[in-house]
Amino acid sequence: MRKLENHSLKDLNTFGIDVNARDFIVIEHETDLFRWVESHGYEDIHVLGGGSNLLLTQDIDGYLLKNEIKGIEIIVEDEETVLVEVGGGENWHEFVLWAVEHGYGGIENMSLIPGTVGAAPIQNIGAYGVELKDVFEGLNAFHWEKGEEWVFTKEECGFGYRDSVFKRALRNKVFITRVYLRLTKQNHSLNTSYGAISKELTGKAVSIRSISDAVIAIRQSKLPDPKVLGNSGSFFKNVELSKETFSNLQEAFPSVPHYIMDEQTIKVPTAWLIDQCGFKGVRYGETGCYEKQPLVLVNYGHATGAEILEFSKKVQKKVQEKFNVRISPEVNIW
């Protein structure tokens, strides 16, 4: 365990916002966590992973625990699958590359998502038609209110579209230490349903590795590298509408793109709504909407969290006025 006081978080969040954490504690093992909780209690705690889904609007006055619990281990193996235990502080993309290297499938579509494995269940990370819940078996977490380590089954995590119980009832109430994922040893679950992937793979063999390579290539060409241009990926979630609300929207805007999620719900890409409001590539002081993907808000170098938040509210308001649709942040605002 390492402790630092008034520690700058500029290099620890992908927006590159310069705020300080009053008490910054690096957790490298579960025993660090138990010892720390015994002496400090459960109040005023925030957990930090890779800082890639955060907008920091002020200094952090309480305790900030940085998850660096490591380890990748196969727990059980059969002919078709492996059950893998992964330390919450492992880097997600490096874990994906480990799986690809070993020929284990199921997470290749989620290549190059920044952040840690421990944060992946928080919003049930997803990309290109695959979500964490598709391979998820369970997790261990320290539950602040119960004062002990707790095992969560998949059902108890309440996964939804970029959502889980950890964004709702258990928001800021747990520290996820280890995650259990079941990966396949066969190629049978390969998913190339997204147009961008199938286009990238034209003329190539479809495999775990080629999908991962395709996703990496698409993402590198389309998304800003946080090391060059600060951002937290999609700032807003896509919109889920009921059939009735959607048909009203479609009547007014016949070209609105959409995807049917289930019998009751239709997904509308928020990027399209923002684009139609004229925000694509628009700069507003030190912040703005990225030129290739307006869903991504960027920091041109010196933005504060408050400025980005203010701009995000302008975008939200314009979308509401034009489409009568409310868009909500995916990013966690502190």
Binding mask 142-171 for ligand FAD (x = CB under 6 A): --------------------x---------
**Catalytic residue, candidates 162, 164, 210, 212:** 162
Q: Contact, 165 vs 158, CB < 8 A? A: yes
Residue numbers 58-77 binding ligand FAD by CB under 6 A:
67
Query: In the complex, which residue's CB is closest to ligand NAP?
Result: 233
Report in angstroms the alpha-carbon separations of 292 from 36, 272, 289, 323, 326. 44, 12, 9, 22, 23
Report in angstroms the alpha-carbon separations of 28 from 87, 100, 179. 10, 26, 15
Q: Contact, 55 vs 94, CB < 8 A? A: no
| 332-333 and 230-234 beta bridge pairing | unpaired
3-class DSSP state for residue 133?
Answer: helix
Which CB atom, from 157 or from 274, has the smaller least distance to ligand NAP?
A: 274
- Two tokens at 242? 């009921």
Which CB atom, from 33 or from 208, has the smaller least distance to ligand FAD?
A: 33
Q: How far is the CB of 79 from ligand NAP (least distance, A)?
A: 31
Active site residue 234: yes
Find tokens 């800003």 and name the residue.
224
* Residues 6+ away with beta carbon under 8 Å from 11: none
Beta bridge partners of residue 138, listed in sequence order: 153, 180
Which CB atom, from 194 or from 253, has the smaller least distance to ligand NAP?
A: 194
Say whether residue 293 binds ligand NAP (CB under 6 A). yes
- Two tokens at 320? 């509401």
Active site residue 326: no
Q: How many residues bind ligand FAD (CB under 6 A)?
A: 34
Say whether residue 128 binds ligand NAP (CB under 6 A). yes
Active site residue 307: no
Active site positions, annotated: 162, 234, 330
Chain contacts with ligand FAD (rule: CB under 6 A): 14, 46-54, 67, 88, 113-116, 118-120, 122-123, 125-127, 162, 174-176, 223, 226, 231-233, 332
Chain contacts with ligand NAP (rule: CB under 6 A): 126-129, 193-194, 196, 222-223, 233-234, 238, 259, 269, 271, 293, 330
